[in-house]
């Protein structure tokens, strides 16, 4: 006797075992079938999976299983983004070694992922913290170094003087260290960089080719790269040698430049004031700006502030002598660190000029107004007609921009120029748990790359984790002390490790040959599998990860390792998983479970009994006490329910609002389906779904029609737009039709066949969403073959053909009646029927019909006069 109740745990365990034993999802290259590479962003092994993972990987698994059933050779791998700070923090706080901590987490999370029934080829699993992986980070670094795409320079970083360590921007919270709350300083440090700017233009251009990416992400990347077309202009210094270089995009306003502004960090800043009365003031200003500047950058757009350097330069266009100022809003990192100030046509210069009473000269006249410097309350920054601009006066500003640029090149006063907001990628991290940068410093030979044969440079295990005093690698002498590869002399190893974004910039290539040991990946296999056809992950990686991965792909292509220009053809950025929150004004976020009171009378804080504000629906996070643990969910309802709910509750790109009742509903659907099949299993297993030569009643023909329409709908929803929620709704609808059809109990041969056909279709269609229960029910229907290998069902046009059509009849655009006509009825016939319908006629009496509009197979609109 088969257990009648739906026990997801047993079923899921059974099928997961079968898939594992039969290696159902192991994959290899196969030139006879089209390939499909579907990839979800690999997780950081933080300890446990969260709902965001459940959603991400459920979506990916639907795609993978669907494409497999469509006959594609599907690559669907999984791995671990295993380097990173939390492992080191665990070491500092709890004395666990980062490696053991990470490995334990990986092991645990892997069993959690397996519990979800995800169809990965686990033989390709990788973890970026393994020497077999990170040695190739080092190898790639060396190749980039050879081509000057990796280089070292001094740059300023966030520095916590108490922890003696560098902080990432995210670790600086309101100007203080996230861990010890010491104010963060800026410090100049020698750091390694990747020259991503060498690819700025290609990275920008190729965005146009990424048609399968969301516009939002493309826009964010465009803004991030920030290409500006303009000119570099030389302003000769007065009474001394040299000139100041400025970058501007508005060379058409150069006649209105009445002063120059430099960044406080500008190399000439102090020199320009030397010997002038301004020397002391300038020095104080520079000092102050340096302290404040970056530590609080982005906090607010404070007052414009500056100081006169005491020196002048000449505007080459006007021949005028104009003062040089330092200004707090000029950034050394962008352009040349110097700008020509045109107060009339730049808001910042305008504010600055007002404050220091500098002249404002209008050189662009708008079409519909007359600008007077004394009356302006803000800069005029739009296009217009050039005035007071010598030979250029009278030109439209956009045209003038081109002419001025050509003119200054002719005169040798500068050149046309393009600048990017994008900066080179600093990859040095003063940390232990990352890829050691393969560089050796020798007093004699200088910077010496580690010879490729000596790779990998492995992390020493035995180091102290104190959280103080910089990288633990500095304390490990066997690691630190090496002999120079060139001169064999005493040398010192680089102790910085790489940014973990390096690891994730090429992992998708490693999967094609995860165990390959003579190069980062097997180029032949990469040529077969790449690019990734569908990449799926959170929108939080819209810029950094996705930009770095694109950069690496192009760089590796130029190294001759891969052929593709772009790594990811299609990108799906899934929404966040959210849930309602509860907040007490004194005790902050509360768990729903700890609330006192009730929904009806209002919730109260268990500690202070204050009314609790039912907060907004927010992204699940520990700090907001609104997380749901997937493990508990799966233990209570099974993986299929977890998958079904997350796929059904919202389309993937939108945020998903968690609902315990919604989960219940998903579970209820699976239970109903289960019970239906189990209750009829004998009769269904014995029956066939072959309908050839069968005479069917109208009801059965309808059910058959709905079956085929559902196949079509589900196929299109998955294929064209990943709208799994509507696909699932359609399957539910079909099931509702099946169960009400079976209710009357007549059970003719034809009926059993049609119902069996409907169920077979439903189960195959459900396989990508809820693979375990679908597999089990497939078996119950008497099927021998593995469900995941069954071809996706086709829909028959003939079976979908309507016999009767429901036509809506409108009068003046309002629905007034509905008529049913044979599917092959003529337009004339339909019009006649529509006009004859009693409900319609009431609106026609005494009126004259102006015209009748027909939408074939749908509607008739009778338009009356007036």
Cβ atoms within 10 Å of 693's Cβ, excluding its own? 5
Q: Nearest-CA neighbor of 510 among 124, 84, 25?
A: 124
Rounded to an integer, what distance in angstroms lies between the CA atom of residue 727 and that of residue 651? 10
Rounded to an integer, what distance in angstroms lies between the CA atom of residue 603 and that of residue 610? 9
Q: Are 557 and 565 in contact (CB under 8 A)?
A: yes
Strand partners, 864: 849
Six token digits for residue 92: 């500092």
Smallest gap from Cβ 442 to RNA, in A, equals 37
Reduced to 3 states, what is the DSSP secondary structure of residue 594?
Answer: helix
Kind plus residue range of the DSSP H or E element containing 816: strand 814-822
Rounded to an integer, what distance in angstroms lies between the CA atom of residue 547 and that of residue 204? 10
Q: Which stretch binds RNA (CB under 7 A): 133-141, 382-390, 494-502, 652-660?
A: 652-660
Rule CB under 7 A: is residue 268 a binding residue for RNA? Answer: no
| Residue whose token pair is 């109740």 | 5
Q: Are 497 and 427 in contact (CB under 8 A)?
A: no
Within 48-77, the residues that bind RNA by CB under 7 A are none
Rule CB under 7 A: is residue 331 a binding residue for RNA? Answer: yes
Smallest gap from Cβ 116 to RNA, in A, equals 21
Rule CB under 7 A: is residue 249 a binding residue for RNA? Answer: yes
Rule CB under 7 A: is residue 230 a binding residue for RNA? Answer: yes
Which residue, 310 or 662, is less far from RNA as judged by CB?
Answer: 662
Q: Nearest-CA neighbor of 507 among 30, 95, 35, 37?
A: 37
| 76, 304, 624, 772: residue in contact with RNA (rule CB under 7 A) | 304
Q: Which stretch binds RNA (CB under 7 A): 13-21, 116-124, 554-562, 814-822?
A: 814-822
Rule CB under 7 A: is residue 665 a binding residue for RNA? Answer: yes
Rule CB under 7 A: is residue 713 a binding residue for RNA? Answer: yes
CA 239 distance to own-chain centroid: 54
Whether residue 72 has a cis bond before it, omega within 30° of 0: no
Rule CB under 7 A: is residue 847 a binding residue for RNA? Answer: no
Q: Which stretch binds RNA (CB under 7 A): 356-364, 426-434, 587-595, 724-732?
A: 724-732
| 226, 267, 390, 451: residue in contact with RNA (rule CB under 7 A) | 226
| 8, 52, 117, 335: residue in contact with RNA (rule CB under 7 A) | 335
Smallest gap from Cβ 68 to RNA, in A, equals 23
Q: Nearest-CA neighbor of 321 among 269, 260, 267, 373?
A: 260
Rounded to an integer, what distance in angstroms lies between the CA atom of residue 704 and that of residue 755? 8
Chain length of the chain: 866
Whether residue 531 has a cis bond before it, omega within 30° of 0: yes
How many residues touch RNA (CB under 7 A)? 86
> From residue 439 to residue 478, what is the string marking binding to RNA with x (rule CB under 7 A)?
----------------------------------------
Which residue, 219 or 609, is less far from RNA as judged by CB?
Answer: 219
Rule CB under 7 A: is residue 571 a binding residue for RNA? Answer: no
Rule CB under 7 A: is residue 728 a binding residue for RNA? Answer: yes
Kind plus residue range of the DSSP H or E element containing 408: helix 397-411
Q: Nearest-CA neighbor of 268 among 316, 231, 314, 310?
A: 310
| 276, 318, 659, 689: residue in contact with RNA (rule CB under 7 A) | 659
Q: How many CA atoms lie within 13 A of 383 on its CB side?
A: 7
Cβ atoms within 10 Å of 608's Cβ, excluding its own? 11
Rule CB under 7 A: is residue 207 a binding residue for RNA? Answer: no
Cβ atoms within 10 Å of 853's Cβ, excluding its own? 11
Rule CB under 7 A: is residue 827 a binding residue for RNA? Answer: no
| 298, 319, 412, 745: residue in contact with RNA (rule CB under 7 A) | 298
Smallest gap from Cβ 219 to RNA, in A, equals 5
Q: Which stretch binds RNA (CB under 7 A): 386-394, 557-565, 666-674, 679-687?
A: 666-674
Backbone angles phi, psi at 11, to 5 degrees: -60, -45
Q: Nearest-CA neighbor of 249 among 329, 326, 345, 363?
A: 345
Which residue, 263 or 395, is less far from RNA as judged by CB?
Answer: 263
| 187, 216, 444, 461: residue in contact with RNA (rule CB under 7 A) | 216
Smallest gap from Cβ 331 to RNA, in A, equals 4
Smallest gap from Cβ 31 to RNA, in A, equals 33
Q: Are 697 and 750 in contact (CB under 8 A)?
A: yes
Rule CB under 7 A: is residue 402 a binding residue for RNA? Answer: no
Backbone angles phi, psi at 43, to 5 degrees: -85, 155
| 93, 174, 201, 664: residue in contact with RNA (rule CB under 7 A) | 664
| 328, 389, 497, 513: residue in contact with RNA (rule CB under 7 A) | 328
Sign of CA dihedral 530, 534, 537, 540: positive
Rule CB under 7 A: is residue 654 a binding residue for RNA? Answer: yes
> From residue 336 to residue 365, what is the string marking binding to RNA with x (rule CB under 7 A)?
-x-xx-----x-x-----------------
Rule CB under 7 A: is residue 212 a binding residue for RNA? Answer: no
Within 3-42, the residues that bind RNA by CB under 7 A are none
Q: Which stretch binds RNA (CB under 7 A): 53-61, 454-462, 628-636, 658-666?
A: 658-666
Q: Which stretch binds RNA (CB under 7 A): 92-100, 107-115, 430-438, 653-661?
A: 653-661
Q: Nearest-CA neighbor of 310 among 353, 281, 341, 284?
A: 281
Cβ atoms within 10 Å of 707's Cβ, excluding its own? 28
Which residue, 361 or 713, is less far from RNA as judged by CB?
Answer: 713
| 302, 390, 391, 602: residue in contact with RNA (rule CB under 7 A) | 302
Q: Which stretch binds RNA (CB under 7 A): 129-137, 431-439, 606-614, 655-663?
A: 655-663
Which residue, 410 or 865, is less far from RNA as judged by CB?
Answer: 865
| 29, 723, 750, 783: residue in contact with RNA (rule CB under 7 A) | 723
Rule CB under 7 A: is residue 729 a binding residue for RNA? Answer: yes
Within 486-545, the residues that bind RNA by CB under 7 A are 539, 543
Q: Which stretch binds RNA (CB under 7 A): 69-77, 385-393, 739-747, 761-769?
A: 739-747
Within 83-142, the residues that bind RNA by CB under 7 A are none
Q: Are 254 and 414 in contact (CB under 8 A)?
A: no
Q: Which stretch binds RNA (CB under 7 A): 151-159, 181-189, 715-723, 775-783?
A: 715-723
| 108, 151, 178, 329: residue in contact with RNA (rule CB under 7 A) | 329
Which residue, 540 or 749, is less far from RNA as judged by CB?
Answer: 540
- Those residues whose C-beta lies under 8 Å from the C-beta of residue 377, and which sit 6 or more positions away, are none
Q: Which stretch binds RNA (CB under 7 A): 216-224, 397-405, 621-629, 782-790?
A: 216-224
| Residue whose token pair is 């600086």 | 172
Rule CB under 7 A: is residue 725 a binding residue for RNA? Answer: yes
Rounded to an integer, what distance in angstroms lies between the CA atom of residue 314 and that of residue 258? 10
Rounded to an integer, what distance in angstroms lies between the CA atom of residue 347 and that of residue 382? 11
Which residue, 380 or 506, is less far from RNA as judged by CB?
Answer: 380
Backbone angles phi, psi at 312, to 5 degrees: -130, 160
Q: Are 498 and 437 in contact (CB under 8 A)?
A: yes
Smallest gap from Cβ 7 to RNA, in A, equals 14
Reduced to 3 states, what is the DSSP secondary structure of residue 427?
Answer: coil
Which residue, 297 or 607, is less far from RNA as judged by CB?
Answer: 297
Which residue, 59 or 482, is less far from RNA as judged by CB?
Answer: 59
- Those residues whose C-beta lies under 8 Å from the C-beta of residue 729, and which sit 6 or more positions away, are 648
Q: Is 485 exposed, middle or buried (0-12, 13-18, 19+ CB in 10 A)?
A: middle
Task: Give 116's DSSP letter.
Answer: T
> From residue 740 to residue 769, what is the string marking binding to RNA with x (rule CB under 7 A)?
x--x--------------------------
Six token digits for residue 763: 């189960």
């Amino acid at each position: 006797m088969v257990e009648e109740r739906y026990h997801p745990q047993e079923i899921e365990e059974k099928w997961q075992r079968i898939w594992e034993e039969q290696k159902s999802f192991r994959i290899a290259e196969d030139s006879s079938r089209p390939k499909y590479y579907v990839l979800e962003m690999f997780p950081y092994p933080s300890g446990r999976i969260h709902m965001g993972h459940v959603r991400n990987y459920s979506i990916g698994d639907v795609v993978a299983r669907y494409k497999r059933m469509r006959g594609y050779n599907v690559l669907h791998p999984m791995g671990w983004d295993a380097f990173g700070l939390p492992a080191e923090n665990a070491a500092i706080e709890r004395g666990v070694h980062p490696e053991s901590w990470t490995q334990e987490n990986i092991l645990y999370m892997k069993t959690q992922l397996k519990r979800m029934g995800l169809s990965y080829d686990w033989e390709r699993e990788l973890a970026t913290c393994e020497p077999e992986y990170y040695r190739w980070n080092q190898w790639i670094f060396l190749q980039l170094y050879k081509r000057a795409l990796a280089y070292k320079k001094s740059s300023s970083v966030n520095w916590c003087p108490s922890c003696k360590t560098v902080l990432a921007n995210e670790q600086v919270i309101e100007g203080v260290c996230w861990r010890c709350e010491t104010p963060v300083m800026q410090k100049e440090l020698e750091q390694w960089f990747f020259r991503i700017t060498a690819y700025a233009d290609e990275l920008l251009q190729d965005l146009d080719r990424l048609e399968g990416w969301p516009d939002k992400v493309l826009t964010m990347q465009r803004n991030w790269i920030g290409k500006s077309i303009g000119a570099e202009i030389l302003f000769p210094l007065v009474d001394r040698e040299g000139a100041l270089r400025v970058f501007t995009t508005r060379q058409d306003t150069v006649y209105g430049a009445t002063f120059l502004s430099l960044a406080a960090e500008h190399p000439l800043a102090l020199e320009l004031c030397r010997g002038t009365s301004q020397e002391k003031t300038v020095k104080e200003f520079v000092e102050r700006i340096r302290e404040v500047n970056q530590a609080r950058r982005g906090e607010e757009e404070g007052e414009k502030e500056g100081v006169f350097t005491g020196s002048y330069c000449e505007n080459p266009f006007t021949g005028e002598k104009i003062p040089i100022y330092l200004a707090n809003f000029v950034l050394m990192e962008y352009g040349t660190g110097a700008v020509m100030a045109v107060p009339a046509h730049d808001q910042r210069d305008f504010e600055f000029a007002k404050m220091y009473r500098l002249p404002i000269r209008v050189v662009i006249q708008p079409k519909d107004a007359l600008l007077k410097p004394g009356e302006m309350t803000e800069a005029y920054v739009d296009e217009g007609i050039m005035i007071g601009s010598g030979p250029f006066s009278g030109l439209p500003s956009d045209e003038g921009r081109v002419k001025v640029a050509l003119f200054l090149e002719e005169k040798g006063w500068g050149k046309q120029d393009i600048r990017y907001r994008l900066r080179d990628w600093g990859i040095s991290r003063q940390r232990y748990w990352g890829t050691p940068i393969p560089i050796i410093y020798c007093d004699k030979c200088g910077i010496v790359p580690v010879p490729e044969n000596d790779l990998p440079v492995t992390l020493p295990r035995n180091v102290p984790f104190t959280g103080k005093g910089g990288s633990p690698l500095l304390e490990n002498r066997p690691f630190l002390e090496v002999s120079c590869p060139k001169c064999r002399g005493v040398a010192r190893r680089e102790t910085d490790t790489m940014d973990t974004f390096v690891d994730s910039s090429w992992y998708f290539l490693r999967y094609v040959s995860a165990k390959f040991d003579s190069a980062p990946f097997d180029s032949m296999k990469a040529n077969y599998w790449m690019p990734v056809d569908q990449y799926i992950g959170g929108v939080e990686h819209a810029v950094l990860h996705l930009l770095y991965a694109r950069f690496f792909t192009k760089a590796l292509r130029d190294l001759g390792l891969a052929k593709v220009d772009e790594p990811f053809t299609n990108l799906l950025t899934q929404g966040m998983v959210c849930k309602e929150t509860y907040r007490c004004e004194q005790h902050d976020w509360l768990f729903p479970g700890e609330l006192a009171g009730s929904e009806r009378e209002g919730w109260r804080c268990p500690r202070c009994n204050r009314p609790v504000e039912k907060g907004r629906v927010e992204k699940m996070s520990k700090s907001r006490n609104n997380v749901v643990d997937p493990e508990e969910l799966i233990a209570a309802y099974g993986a299929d329910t977890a998958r079904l709910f997350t796929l059904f509750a919202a389309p993937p790109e939108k945020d998903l609002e968690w609902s315990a009742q919604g989960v219940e509903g998903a579970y209820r659907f699976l239970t109903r389906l289960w019970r239906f099949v189990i209750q009829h299993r004998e009769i269904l297993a014995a029956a066939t779904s072959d309908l050839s030569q069968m005479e069917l009643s109208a009801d059965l023909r309808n059910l058959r029609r709905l079956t085929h329409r559902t196949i079509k709908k589900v196929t299109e929803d998955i294929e064209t737009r990943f709208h799994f929620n509507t696909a699932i709704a359609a399957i539910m609808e079909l099931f509702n039709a099946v169960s009400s059809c079976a209710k009357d109990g007549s059970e003719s041969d034809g009926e059993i066949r049609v119902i069996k056909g409907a169920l077979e279709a439903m189960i195959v269609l459900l396989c990508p969403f809820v693979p375990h229960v679908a597999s089990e029910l497939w078996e119950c229907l008497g099927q021998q073959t593995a469900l995941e290998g069954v071809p996706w069902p086709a829909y028959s046009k003939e079976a979908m053909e309507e016999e009767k059509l429901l036509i809506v009849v409108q009068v003046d655009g309002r629905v007034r009646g509905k008529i049913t006509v044979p599917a092959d009825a003529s337009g004339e016939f339909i019009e006649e029927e529509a006009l004859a319908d009693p409900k319609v006629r009431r609106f026609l009496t005494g009126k004259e019909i102006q015209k009748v509009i027909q939408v074939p197979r749908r509607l008739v609109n009778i338009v009356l006069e007036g």
